[in-house]
């Protein structure tokens, strides 16, 4: 039997920084599983990388005024660094903009075309004559065809919930520039997913997946129809046919192929051993929102092309991790500042906390208080305490040397059995993607060691020459439990596990040892131990207090602003203006000098909205809300005659969208 395991974690979009919510879903469980399987002696290839194409990328890049490439370069680097900081063991972390990805993606398309699974269709799409391009749904807003809500999104109405094609909107406009859009015919390539229904049905029926994953996938299979796999854009993998200028693949067509191309990039000589061997086990870690793509669409694409690539075997799909009762959201300030986090806390503290709280069957919660209490009571109080008290004892009563095991009395035999049973339970938990359970086993084992230590009272046994032997047996057994503890905790807290491993006198890292060997070989008696040191620091209230405060700071800022009356509001003269020209203020990263038309004439207004914007011309012609009766002020040596209103977003600012209001009209 082959022992090859190919492991993937969903490729994160390179359009913003990852947070612990993401890490808990498709990432930490993948890394722990990869580490576990390596310990089992499996031949593991674990790949991931940045998903860098698609509208999510161009839209967020446009909003901050960066070129898409610049945008993905930035977040690829940031996210890669976070994974390193978190001790991830990817064998390769790639990106879908590397050149080899193009060839593999295009070959999929050419195979599918040749095999009759692709057809061309001409449909009407919305086109901006001003921007000279077709606009994707997410760039479009307009009047809802059903409830007539103005400002409805391009795919569904946020007011009445209706879903429709962007072409159904009344008066569709560009979200970015406000310019009106027209219908234009455009050609696209559709993949006949409907032709894979039968094959998918018989393939999926014996999959050992969670019921919700199977049900969700099944509902998609039942409803398969042709779907467009191309888009009008210049950001994406190009369609490899003549005369297809401006046509690229839809991001969900190329992204999953990224798993293959990432392996090709990282392991040009070995990738085939994994992807083309039917005996390889393919395990794909994803968040629950990615189920249809991994359980239905990508498998269909694989079935329709010509290479004997592996199809997914295991699909552990996790739920979400929230922060103190709400979804993580950087734009709302509802997040954890990672730089500050790592100044105070360690990688293994967060890895343990996320594992112990993994959102396996339902959403889970990061809470600062809970983080503090688990780190203190469990990592420090059980795990750290067992190791520390034992090793200090060995220094004092056994000259820092692992003693020999003698006869086992019933308490000791029971303890030995117990720690072996917990170790086996941990193995079972890891191999069945039950990370929470594995973390529980770690603490159960540490606790068992502490209870045995307390029961046996080796400090009393050491006082009497007749019980020295029993003391030595006790200590040897506790150290066995520490060895197993290092083993079963190492997928979750690899750094700490290695420290524990070294404290037992081993050289080399635990990653180079094998699970079965560690379990079956007793500790070498006579092995000299280094001086012990503590593994965890206590988390004091003062360390988490400021974090909780910071989290709630933004909220209080808004809710605690003193109340005002309608008369106060009426004091503001808010008017619609239009940006006529814009230039940067020298030596400032964000300050722009705008000239803005109001009905009363043209004003010069300085505004700090320019950070990260590369194409200032996109602002020209935009309508904005101006505080028209603001007393003029001098900013950076220039006079500003008013201010404009803008909203903070995750990556910069956003201006309100005004379409029909004439210049000078009142905003109330």
- Residues forming contacts to ligand B3M in the complex (CB under 6 A) are 10-13, 51, 255-256, 258, 287, 290
Closer residue to ligand B3M (CB): 105 or 490: 105
The site partner of 299 among Zn ion, ligand B3M, none (C-beta below 5 to 8 Å per kind) is: none
Closest distance of CB 140 from Zn ion, Å:
14
Closer residue to ligand B3M (CB): 231 or 389: 231
The site partner of 255 among ligand B3M, Zn ion, none (C-beta below 5 to 8 Å per kind) is: ligand B3M
Closest distance of CB 514 from ligand B3M, Å:
32
Closest distance of CB 26 from ligand B3M, Å:
8
Closer residue to ligand B3M (CB): 287 or 458: 287
- What is the spatial distance between Cα 213 and Cα 218, in angstroms, rounded to a whole number? 8
Closer residue to ligand B3M (CB): 256 or 304: 256
The site partner of 51 among ligand B3M, Zn ion, none (C-beta below 5 to 8 Å per kind) is: ligand B3M
Closer residue to Zn ion (CB): 157 or 628: 157
Contact predicate 181/172, CB 8 Å? yes
Closer residue to ligand B3M (CB): 9 or 578: 9
Pair of tokens at residue 626: 């101006």
Closest distance of CB 290 from ligand B3M, Å:
5
Closest distance of CB 145 from Zn ion, Å:
8
- What is the spatial distance between Cα 412 and Cα 473, in angstroms, rounded to a whole number? 8
The site partner of 411 among ligand B3M, Zn ion, none (C-beta below 5 to 8 Å per kind) is: none
Closest distance of CB 595 from ligand B3M, Å:
41
Closest CA to 494 of 89, 91, 93: 89
Helix, strand, or coil (residue 469): helix
Closer residue to Zn ion (CB): 57 or 157: 157
Pairing of strands 317-318, 281-287: parallel
DSSP code for 598: E
The site partner of 384 among ligand B3M, Zn ion, none (C-beta below 5 to 8 Å per kind) is: none
Largest distance between two CA atoms of the chain: 102
Residue whose Cβ sits closest to ligand B3M: 51
With 0-12 CB in 10 A as exposed, 13-18 as middle and 19+ as buried, what is 565? exposed
Closest distance of CB 255 from ligand B3M, Å:
4
Closer residue to Zn ion (CB): 147 or 460: 147
Closer residue to ligand B3M (CB): 287 or 449: 287
Residues 340-369, one symbol each (x = binds Zn ion by CB under 5 A, - = not), give ------------------------------
Closest distance of CB 566 from ligand B3M, Å:
44
Closest distance of CB 162 from Zn ion, Å:
5
The site partner of 157 among Zn ion, ligand B3M, none (C-beta below 5 to 8 Å per kind) is: Zn ion
Closest distance of CB 390 from ligand B3M, Å:
44
Pair of tokens at residue 613: 């914007």
Helix, strand, or coil (residue 134): strand
Cα dist. 541→334, 377, 544 in Å? 20, 14, 6
DSSP code for 383: I
Binding residue (CB under 5 A) for Zn ion from 149, 164, 190, 342: 149
Q: Is 157 a residue that touches Zn ion (CB under 5 A)?
A: yes
Closest distance of CB 340 from ligand B3M, Å:
25
Closest CA to 58 of 307, 312, 284, 251: 251
Helix, strand, or coil (residue 645): coil
Closest CA to 199 of 110, 288, 115: 115
> Given the structure tokens 């940045």, which residue do they identify?
50
Q: Is 523 a residue that touches Zn ion (CB under 5 A)?
A: no
Closer residue to ligand B3M (CB): 298 or 415: 298
Rg of the chain (C-alpha set): 30
Contact predicate 651/63, CB 8 Å? yes
Closest distance of CB 621 from ligand B3M, Å:
33
Beta bridge partners of 577: 624
What is the sign, positive or negative, of the torsion defined by CA atoms of 376, 377, 380, 381?
Answer: positive
Pair of tokens at residue 371: 């983080």
The site partner of 144 among Zn ion, ligand B3M, none (C-beta below 5 to 8 Å per kind) is: Zn ion
Q: Is 330 a residue that touches Zn ion (CB under 5 A)?
A: no
Contact predicate 13/60, CB 8 Å? no
In 138-158, which positions are buried (b, 16+ CB within 10 angstroms) versus exposed (e)?
bbbbbbbbeeebeebbbeebe
What is the sign, positive or negative, of the torsion defined by CA atoms of 396, 402, 405, 410?
Answer: positive
With 0-12 CB in 10 A as exposed, 13-18 as middle and 19+ as buried, what is 491? buried
Query: Which residue stretch of 87-95, 160-168, 288-296, 513-521 sits at the interface with Zn ion (rule: CB under 5 A)?
Result: 160-168
Residues 162-181, one symbol each (x = binds Zn ion by CB under 5 A, - = not), give x-------------------
Contact predicate 420/492, CB 8 Å? no
Closer residue to ligand B3M (CB): 288 or 514: 288
Q: Is 160 a residue that touches Zn ion (CB under 5 A)?
A: yes
Q: Is 479 a residue that touches Zn ion (CB under 5 A)?
A: no
Residues 45-74 that bind Zn ion (CB under 5 A): none
Closer residue to ligand B3M (CB): 317 or 429: 317
Question: What's the angle, vertex CA 576, arms to CA 665 and CA 56, rounded to 5?
Answer: 135
> Given the structure tokens 């010069």, which residue do they identify?
604
Q: Is 144 a residue that touches Zn ion (CB under 5 A)?
A: yes
In 403-438, which positions are buried (b, 16+ CB within 10 angstroms) versus exposed (e)?
bebeebeeebeebbebbeebbebbbebbeebbbbbb
Closest distance of CB 302 from ligand B3M, Å:
13
Closer residue to ligand B3M (CB): 255 or 323: 255
The site partner of 49 among Zn ion, ligand B3M, none (C-beta below 5 to 8 Å per kind) is: none
Closer residue to ligand B3M (CB): 30 or 256: 256
Binding residue (CB under 5 A) for Zn ion from 85, 138, 159, 199: 159
Closest distance of CB 600 from ligand B3M, Å:
48
Question: What's the angle, vertex CA 375, arms to CA 371 and CA 378, rounded to 5?
Answer: 125
- What is the spatial distance between Cα 25 and Cα 321, in angstroms, rounded to a whole number? 7
Contact predicate 168/123, CB 8 Å? no
Pair of tokens at residue 454: 């307390």
Count, residues near Zn ion per rule CB under 5 A: 8
Closer residue to ligand B3M (CB): 55 or 446: 55
Closest distance of CB 261 from ligand B3M, Å:
11
The site partner of 159 among ligand B3M, Zn ion, none (C-beta below 5 to 8 Å per kind) is: Zn ion
- What is the spatial distance between Cα 584 and Cα 64, in angstroms, rounded to a whole number? 15
Beta bridge partners of 378: none
Pairing of strands 638-640, 592-598: unpaired
The site partner of 160 among ligand B3M, Zn ion, none (C-beta below 5 to 8 Å per kind) is: Zn ion
Binding residues (CB under 5 A) for Zn ion: these are 144, 146-147, 149, 157, 159-160, 162
């Amino acid at each position: 039997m082959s022992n090859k395991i190919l492991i993937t974690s969903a490729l994160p979009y390179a359009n913003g920084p990852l947070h612990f919510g993401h890490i808990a879903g498709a990432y930490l469980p993948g890394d722990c599983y990869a580490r576990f399987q390596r310990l089992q002696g499996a031949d593991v290839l674990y790949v991931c990388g940045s998903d860098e194409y698609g509208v999510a990328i161009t839209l967020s890049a446009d909003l901050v005024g960066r070129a898409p490439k610049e945008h993905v370069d930035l977040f690829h680097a940031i996210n890669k660094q976070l994974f390193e900081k978190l001790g991830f063991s990817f064998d390769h972390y790639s990106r879908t903009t590397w050149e080899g990805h193009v060839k593999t993606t295009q070959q999929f398309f050419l195979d599918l075309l040749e095999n009759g699974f692709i057809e061309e269709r001409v449909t009407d799409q919305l086109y901006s004559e001003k921007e000279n391009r077709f606009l994707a749904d997410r760039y479009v807003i307009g009047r809802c065809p059903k409830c007539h809500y103005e400002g409805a999104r391009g795919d569904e109405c946020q007011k009445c919930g209706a879903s429709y094609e962007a072409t159904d909107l009344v008066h569709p406009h560009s979200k970015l520039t406000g310019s009106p859009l027209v219908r234009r015919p455009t050609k696209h390539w559709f993949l006949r997913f409907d032709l894979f229904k039968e094959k998918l049905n018989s393939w999926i029926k014996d999959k050992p997946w969670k019921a919700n994953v199977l049900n969700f996938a099944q509902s998609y299979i039942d409803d398969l129809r042709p779907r467009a796999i191309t888009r009008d854009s210049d950001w994406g993998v190009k369609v490899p046919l003549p005369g297809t200028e401006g046509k690229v693949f839809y991001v969900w067509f190329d992204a999953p192929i990224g798993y293959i191309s990432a392996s090709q990039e990282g392991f040009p000589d070995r990738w085939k051993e994994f992807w083309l061997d039917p005996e390889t086990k393919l395990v794909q870690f994803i968040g629950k929102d990615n189920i249809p793509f991994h359980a239905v669409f990508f498998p269909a694409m694989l079935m329709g092309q010509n290479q004997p690539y592996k199809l997914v075997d295991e699909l552990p799909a996790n739920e979400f991790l929230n922060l103190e009762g709400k979804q993580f959201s950087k734009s709302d300030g509802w997040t954890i500042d990672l730089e500050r986090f790592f100044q105070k806390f360690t990688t293994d503290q967060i890895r343990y906390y996320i594992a112990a709280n993994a959102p396996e069957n339902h959403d889970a919660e990061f809470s600062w208080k809970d983080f503090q209490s688990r780190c203190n009571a469990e990592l420090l109080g059980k795990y750290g305490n067992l190791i520390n008290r034992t090793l200090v004892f060995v220094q004092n009563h056994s000259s820092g040397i692992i003693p020999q095991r003698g006869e086992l009395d019933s308490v000791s035999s029971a303890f030995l059995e117990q720690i072996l049973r917990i170790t086996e339970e941990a193995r079972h938990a890891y191999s069945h993607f039950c990370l929470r359970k594995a973390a529980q086993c770690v603490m159960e084992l540490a606790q068992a060691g502490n209870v045995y230590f307390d029961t046996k009272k080796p400090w009393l046994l050491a006082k009497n020459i007749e019980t020295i032997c029993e003391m030595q047996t006790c200590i040897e057994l506790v150290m066995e439990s520490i060895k197993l503890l290092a083993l079963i905790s190492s997928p979750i807290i690899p750094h700490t596990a290695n420290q524990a491993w070294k404290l037992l006198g081993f050289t080399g890292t635990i990653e180079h040892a094998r699970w079965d060997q560690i379990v079956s070989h007793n500790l070498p008696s006579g092995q000299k131990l280094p001086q012990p040191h503590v593994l965890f620091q206590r988390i004091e209230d003062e360390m988490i207090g400021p974090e909780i405060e910071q989290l709630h700071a933004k909220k209080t800022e808004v809710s605690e602003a003193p109340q005002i009356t309608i008369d106060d509001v009426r004091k503001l003269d808010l008017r619609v203006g239009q940006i006529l020209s814009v230039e940067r203020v020298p030596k400032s990263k964000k300050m722009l000098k705008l000239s803005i038309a109001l009905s009363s004439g043209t004003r010069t207004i300085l505004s700090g909205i320019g950070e990260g914007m590369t194409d200032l011309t996109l602002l020209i012609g935009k309508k904005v809300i101006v505080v028209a009766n603001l007393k003029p002020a001098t900013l950076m040596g220039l006079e500003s005659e008013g201010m404009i209103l803008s909203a903070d977003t995750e990556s910069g600012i956003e201006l309100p969208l005004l379409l029909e209001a004439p210049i000078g009209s009142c905003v109330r």
